[in-house]
A and B are shown apart, each in its own frame.
Chain A
């Protein structure tokens, strides 16, 4: 049940032989894109989120053959010449990463959201939460993630309170 498919991933064109039964998650991990994580395998957690075009998609519920002719982005392509993307940097600044398992998926969701709303001045916290509702994080409590996204959308007035209160509370 094999097929050749071609797509662009992180700016690079590739042609791969895939089994029609494989998810895009499996194929990407097999080919070294291990930022793409499997959490649940059934669309609940978003750890496997990648962008198809500019749209966040759960790669665990996406057949690899559907990627034929498409443009894919994963976290591997977000750091250019050693420079973190704006969203990646904001995650670091806000302390939005703990164990990191959810982070690649969340970064892709945030990246799509920030790029879409760069010039939108009416974005609320509620909009940020809704856009990230398909990504679960067991560690951070989400607050720092939301702040990282806020930082990307209003960089001229950075949130003073970016350092997470929970660090003080947990005695870190």
Chain B
């Protein structure tokens, strides 16, 4: 038995917002793969629940005529992995989603829960960061949109007000059209494991030169992080093997990996550099295949 002190099932996002506003201690429950695990361990912070599981209005994925992709926060990892709008336009997010846990967790866990949980290891986070995703939040104060990297504030801490529901995640066409991207998760096991380090990269290449590079990591700091300095340095660099060395030599300056029981800081630093190279190599290979 999960030790809820209060439980309300919301029939709509607006009702969920009203319920959250009534009780500042309450939290949204989506797939429950984080919340119910914590409740199983008798965590005190999750005992007032507003159930948004299965709300249809949060389950949609759409692309408008301008190419803007909108992903409902209640979309599961399995749907992200299989949906043609995702696999066809932003396969890097499908790669992130398919690396989560095992099938049962992917069938229930949602992308909104993954982001709002604020874990530095969230597998959808690095792909969404390099897609310059915007999160849409709705609460009693109205609706606001902020870049995902600003939504992250610290370990387990996101910029969500008490009454707010993350309704959708938006990706603009200029952030995926003409980009090549790749996510690589390094974990101790091939499945059912939290990333030791996760790395997503994207490159926009023109005439053999890097027009823009984007690089983001999980478990390499208190939150998932973009590598802003390295991205600056890579501007205009040659899009060949030399890029790999350039990025490798710079990337650690952007990140703050820690020692933990899962892995030492030294090892994480090594994996960070190795993944930068692997991800960039995969991206260069993709470019090669498209423009021989």
**Interface residues of A, count at CB 8 A:** 30
Question: Number of residue pairs across A and B with beta carbons under 8 Å?
Answer: 76
Number of interface residues of B (CB under 8 A): 26
Give Cα A135–Cα B265 distance, bound, in whole angstroms.
Answer: 31
Q: Chain A residues with Cβ under 8 A from B102's Cβ?
A: 46, 133-135
| B191 at the A interface (CB under 8 A) | yes
Docked pose: A20 CA to B9 CA in angstroms: 10
Q: Are A20 and B7 in contact (CB under 8 A)?
A: yes
B282 at the interface (CB under 8 A from A): no
B11 at the interface (CB under 8 A from A): no
A58 touching B108 by the CB < 8 A rule? yes
A57 near B101 with CB under 8 A, answer no
Q: Are A63 and B51 in contact (CB under 8 A)?
A: yes
**B-to-A contact residues, CB < 8 Å:** 1-4, 7, 9, 32-33, 36-37, 40-41, 51, 53-54, 78, 101-105, 107-108, 190-192
Asked if A57 contacts B4 (CB within 8 A), the reply is no
* Cβ contact of A134, chosen from B9, B37, B101, cutoff 8 A: B101
The CA of A43 and the CA of B102, in the complex, are separated in Å by 9
Q: Which residue of chain A has its CB nearest to the CB of B189? A: A133
- Complex: how many Å from CA A60 to CA B191? 19
Would you list 15 pairs from A and B whose C-beta atoms are within 8 A, ordered by A residue?
A20-B7, A26-B1, A42-B37, A43-B33, A43-B37, A43-B101, A43-B105, A56-B104, A61-B33, A61-B37, A63-B32, A109-B104, A130-B103, A134-B104, A134-B191
Contact call B7/A62, Cβ cutoff below 8 A? no
Q: Is A1 an interface residue (CB 8 A)?
A: yes
